[in-house]
């Protein structure tokens, strides 16, 4: 007689069990994490999401900055200075090249 399933666990069955336990692990702890974050967002003030009106925020930031173009020009000059400092900071010697 030839039995298709004789009750022994081979490599494929063990690997399938391993993958199934990984899926169950992720589902269990993923669900617990979601529930924890929902609880914290609803019950604790530190984890609540504050809502912003982005249009008002942009207007406020534009009022605080004097001129966008001047700040961009200053940043470009600073970047050029930083690059020259970096280029001059490390100049290889003959010992480094060996």
Tally the C-alpha atoms within 13 A of residue 68's C-alpha that lie toward its C-beta.
Answer: 4
Range of the domain at 61: 10-65
Radius of gyration for the chain, computed over Cα atoms and rounded to the nearest angstrom = 31
Domain annotation covers residue 75: no
Local confidence pLDDT in tens for the 98 residues of the chain: 777 777 788 899 999 999 999 999 999 999 999 999 888 888 887 777 777 777 887 777 777 766 555 555 555 666 666 666 666 665 666 665 55
Q: What is the pTM of this model?
A: 0.44
CB 41 within 8 A of CB 47: yes
- Alpha-carbon distance 41 to 61, whole Å? 28
Domain annotation covers residue 22: yes
CB 48 within 8 A of CB 41: yes
Total tally of structural domains belonging to the chain: 1
């Amino acid at each position: 007689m030839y039995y298709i399933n004789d009750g022994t666990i081979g490599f494929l069955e063990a690997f399938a069990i391993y993958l199934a336990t990984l899926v169950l692990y992720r589902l269990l702890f993923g669900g617990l994490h979601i529930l924890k974050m929902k609880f914290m967002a609803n019950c604790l003030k530190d984890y609540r999401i504050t809502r912003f009106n982005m249009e008002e925020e942009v207007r406020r930031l534009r009022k605080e900055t004097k001129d966008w173009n001047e700040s961009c020009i200053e940043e470009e000059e600073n970047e050029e200075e930083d690059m020259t400092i970096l280029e001059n900071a490390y100049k290889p010697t003959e010992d480094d090249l060996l």
